Amino acid sequence: MLLSLVLHMHSVRCVLPAAVLLGTAPTYVLVWGAWRLLSALLPSRFYQAVDDRLYCVYQSMVLFFFENYTGVQILLYGDLPKNKENIIYLANHQSTVDWIIADILAVRQSALGHVRYVLKDGLKWLPLYGCYFSQMYLVIFPEGTRYNPELTKVISASQAFAAQEGLPVLKHVLTPRIKATHVAFDSMKDYLDAVYDVTVAFEGSVDDKGQRKEAPSMAEFLCKECPKIHIHIDRIDKKNIPEEQVSMKRWLHERFEIKDKLLIEFYDSPDPERRNKFPGESVNSKLSLKKTLPSFLILSGLTAGLLMTEAGRKLYVKTWIYGTLIGCLWVSIKA
């Protein structure tokens, strides 16, 4: 009976994170909306400062589950970030967890509240968060879609395009697209310090035959035994990045050739001692509970308090319904 209970608890271990992350959404939106109204007559810098702080609180709660709750092991290689910088973050894309990897690096630079994403257009329709997320930028996945070794048609099409363009064919990543990267760099080059070229690999994402399999999804990441995450970082000063689009396209593909070589070594090296690691020394980076637990307690506590009264429950439900409808209307108008 005890074994059955343990197995049952393990099978639902993602229920708590899902319940908290979704359940606190109306609370977050209410707090953000209240501040938006209160700051309407104030200089925009005051709104932005608090908005960044609120966003940091929510993202810290997300990291509580994805780092402290799961006990994941984060291994960092390469140019380890030390100081807070204005950057564009370029990474390979293989999992719904990838955007959290960007947060994992940002929190270690005390820059979590400033992280923004280039997201798929369809994500702007997410209930409550879609309108908010649709304003965000800076974290870019140039492949445009996730690399999944089981989607052979997608990989073949990407490789055929590279060959047609006279570019080297890539094995463990898709051929990158230039548009988002060029627009972001061109728009922000006067404010940037560098580009972080980030290559991510999930240990254990190889089957018994040595073939790479699909990377863990968010639910799998939370519900199953958490893999080690290997993160290789190349810091590239902005002066070393070509500004003209054609030159940047070649530069970007060269960066993905480097990623591909790193991942070939990680997954396919004939030497077992060199597999499941990137070249060079790694740093086992553990996130302190002090960085995430307060945010979890604040948001879950506010939500619990809201739900304890009848008026609070009505406001909570109305926020879900009307907040989602107004958000969808807003993104429709902007589109």
Q: For 142-180, what is each residue's pLDDT tens digit?
A: 998 899 999 999 999 999 999 999 999 999 999 999 988
Helix, strand, coil shares of the chain, percent, nearest 5, are 55, 10, 35
- Residue 134 scores a pLDDT above 60: no
DSSP 8-state assignment for residue 65: I
User: How does the average pLDDT of the chain come out, rounded?
Assistant: 85
Q: For 225-253, what is each residue's pLDDT tens digit?
A: 667 999 999 999 999 999 999 999 999 99
DSSP 8-state assignment for residue 264: H
Domain range for residue 163?
A: 1-334
Q: CA-to-CA distance for 39 and 169, rounded, in angstroms?
A: 51
Angle CA 116–118–124, to nearest 5? 95
The count of C-alpha atoms lying within 13 angstroms of the C-alpha of 90, restricted to the half-sphere facing its C-beta, is: 28
Given a contact cutoff of 8 angstroms between Cβ atoms, the answer to whether 61 and 296 are in contact is: yes
Given a contact cutoff of 8 angstroms between Cβ atoms, the answer to whether 132 and 323 are in contact is: no
With residue 326 as reference, give the H or E element that holds it.
Answer: helix 310-334
The model's pTM is: 0.86
Q: Could you tell me the two tokens for 54?
A: 């609120």
Distance between first and last Cα of the chain: 55
Number of domains, the chain: 1
Q: CA-to-CA distance for 133 and 119, rounded, in angstroms?
A: 8
